[in-house]
Every structure is written in C-alpha cells, then in structure tokens.
Amino acid sequence: MTQRVLTTESGAPVADNQNSATAGAGGPILLQDQHLLEKLARFNRERIPERVVHARGSGAYGYFEVTDDITAFTRADFLSEVGKRTGTFIRFSTVADSLGGADAVRDPRGFALKFYTDEGNYDLVGNNTPVFFIKDPIKFPDFIHSQKRDPFTGRQEPDNVWDFWAHAPEATHQVTWLMGDRGIPASYRHMNGYGSHTYQWTNAEGEAFFVKYHFKTNQGVRSLSSEQAAELAGKDGSSHQTDLLQAIERGVNPSWTLHVQVMPAAEAADYRFNPFDLTKVWPHADYPLQRVGRLVLDRNPDNVFAEVEQAAFSPNNFVPGIGPSPDKMLQGRLFAYADAHRYRLGVNHTQLPVNAPRTAVVDNYGRDGLHATRNGARHDKNYEPNSYAGPAQTDAALSAPLAIHGRTGTHAAPAHTRDDDFFQAGELYRLMSEDEKGRLVANIAGGLSQVTRDDVIEKNLAHFHAADADYGKRVEEAVRTLRED
C-alpha cells in the first residue's frame, strides 16, 4: 500500500509532525512554524456551539418505502406510489442535557427525520411522545431555562422544574407521559416516533386534510425503570449511541411503520378540543391510524461531527402537498429551528452534504456568506425577476391556504367544548395498569418531594387531582411520606 503524505491545510507536505521548530536544539519555538500554528489554531476552533436543546444525539441513514396508497390525501411525490423509496437521515436525541450528558435518562427523545425527495428535502421534526409540555412558543425559552442547569448551582434543580410545571397546567399530560413507564426508552430502536404537531396535507384536487404522524417501532417498545437507567448510565453514558451503531453494523437494521391520522380540514373548527393543541392527542376512535409505509435504517454515518452534529432539521422544509397547520408551537418552530442552524452552522449550512438535497436541483438567488460553495456561474444574475432565463416562481402553492379572520393581537386559543388541560392526562392515567400507576406515582413523588416551597408542591398536586381524583390522592400521599422521612 502506498504511504499517504501528510500535508498542511494548503496542501504542502509536512516534514516533521513530532517536533516543533525551535531556535536551536532546546530553544524557544519559532513563530514561523506554520504547521504548528495551523494545528493549534484549528484545534481551538474544532467545536461549534452545541444545540441549546437536543444537544446529545445519534444519527443514521436509511430509506422510506411507501406500502399503502394515500394519494387521496396528499400529492407529495415521495408518497405517490406503493413501492417508492426515498433516502432518509434521522437524528435521535435527548432534550434537556448537554452534549456530555448520558443517554439513559428520563427525558423526551427527539425524532428528527430528513427525506431526500425529488422535490427537495422534507424535514419532519418530532419526538418520541405525541404531546408536549406547552402549547405556545412564547413560553418555550422559559420552559427550557427551567429544565436546564441553574445559573447559580450549575445543575438541574427540582425547584425550577416543578415551579414551571406548577404554572403550566397544560403540562400535566406530558408530565404523566414522562414520569410513566415509557419515560426512559431502552434504546432508540425500541421507541416510537411522532410528528407530535398537526400538519396539513393537500391532494391533487386541492382538498386539505390535517394529519398527525405515528412511527411505530417494529422492534417493540422497551423501556427502562429509573433504577435500570441509573445503572446503565453509570456503565455506558453513550448506551443508546452504542446500541444503534452496533445494531446497524451487524446488519440488524431497525425499522418503523408509519401511520397517520387524517382529519378533513372542515372538521377542525367544531372538534371537541382544539386539534392544533400540542398538549393533546386525537383519540384513535375518532381518527383511526392509517398505514403509509416503513422507515428502515441501514447505514451509520462515517463521521459523527460532519453528519450528526452538522445535520440541520427545519420544520419549514416542506414539499408540494405538505404544509403547516395553525398549531402555534409549530408556527414558532418554523422560525426558531432554521434560525438556530444559521447561528450554529452559518447561512450556507444547507450546502453541507448531510443537509443538501440529493436529487432535487437547488436553483435560487442566494449568494455569498460564510462557506458559500454554490454561487452560480459567471453570467448568472443574483436578482429576480430578470431577462436572463434565471429561475422563476411556479405560482403553485405547496399547500392549501388557511382561512383567517379577526383582529391582530395576543389571543388565547379559541375555546372548544373539551379544551381543558387535565382530561387527557386523566384518561392516560386510567389506561395504566395498577403496577404502571404505582411506578408513575413514585417517579413524580421522587422529584416533587425535593421541591423546597410548599406552594409549588400544592400547585402541582392540584393538577394531578384535577386529572383524576385517585391520581392526585396517591401522588399527594407519596410526596407527604417522602418529605416526612
């Protein structure tokens, strides 16, 4: 095998990579040692800002294959025929902890999926839970601050976590999910994924539907108890990354079956609760799951930094036939995610290989900026419209228009007949077995009993009482017992 030659960034061969240039043997280092300075300067700049949320993640490549005809609901080309395959990249992640945190922790998991379609990239950015803690993006920075490390103590504080939840009764449903048996997935392969938000599909006739995505794991749902998770996190902080990497390397390719719930757009206004409320699910009895296809992961990234850390997912990356809904949290994310990537990776992050479309041709008037590699040919114009056959608009909207009315201002969501913050949390609790209820209560009490303010505890207890009388009573008794010990 021919020995490769080590070079500098400019391509010059390196004579000595073991010793710095000095003024004589044992003398001071010379400023002219370009190779040394270049190595140290690059080393200082190896890290980019980590994500504020979803910092710790794992990723894999794969494909999505359509198994059922759903063209009655969407004209999206990658869903247009049974058997059609589209390349994908997925990033799983924890939410609250930093890049150095452990995988096996009680925390929601990100489920971010990029489809490399012929009509451009479609990003579906969800979680492993069908609901979330809040329903308005204006509360998101405050929520994340309450869950992250305290500015003074430098650690996650139960006082902060539960104080925010005490003032956010809409979080009761997600708290019940998080503290329940599925709060700590055994691996990324053994959890479901959800679009969580409500999205809009439009068919070829222009009919609009609202949809929710459900990716059901074909490996079966497996979760860890708090005790199992603590032991695993101590043995291997990268347990979920290890599991995903090794499974795919062995050829054990994980897969999920995609189902959707479909609501005709006309039914949204009179539904018994706000169908765009991220803290609620649509009962399957109202809108049954309809199978769409399967997602298969079959290739690991070659470089975690280049392909996982630099992967950028934006909910506003839609394709014809798919668009947003009036979901307020989704509306906020349409801006926030793309803006985060411009900050972390630069305005040209979409030109990085993991983020660039594979088959669709990118042709627009974006120019310049940090790391620009697609600046057009010498005679291409950088304005529109022009007289030089440059790219032009299609006049074909990606999705159907949404009707709006009323006055501008800050408004609470329109009230539906069952728009309270507790009934679905209560329904979830009543679906649990007696053993599941016991573990849920123990997990909640374990954190809530550490809160130092009685009024914060009482506010949270009121939420559980409102969801279900037995639920509230058992949590209250468990908290009291732990605080007396």
Query: Which residues are known to be catalytic?
Result: 54, 127
- For 442-471, b/e burial (b = at least 16 CB within 10 A) is bbbbbbbbbbeeeebbebbbbbbbbbbeeb
What's the start-to-end Cα distance of the chain, in Å?
A: 69
Cα distance between residue 385 and residue 391, in whole Å: 9
DSSP-assigned letters across all residues of 456-471: HHHHHHHHHHHH-HHH
Cα distance between residue 483 and residue 485, in whole Å: 6
Query: In this structure, what are the phi and psi dihedrals at residue 357, rounded to the nearest 5 degrees?
Result: -60, 150
Instruction: Specify whether the CB–CB gap between 273 and 416 falls below 8 A.
Output: yes
Nearest to 92 by CA among 60, 123, 64, 121: 60
The three-state DSSP-derived secondary structure of 278-319 is: CCCCCCCCCCCCEEEEEEEEEECCCCHHHHHHCCCCCCCCCC
Burial class (CB in 10 A: 0-12, 13-18, 19+), 141: exposed
Amino acid occupying residue 4: R
Tell me which H or E stretch contains 242: helix 239-249
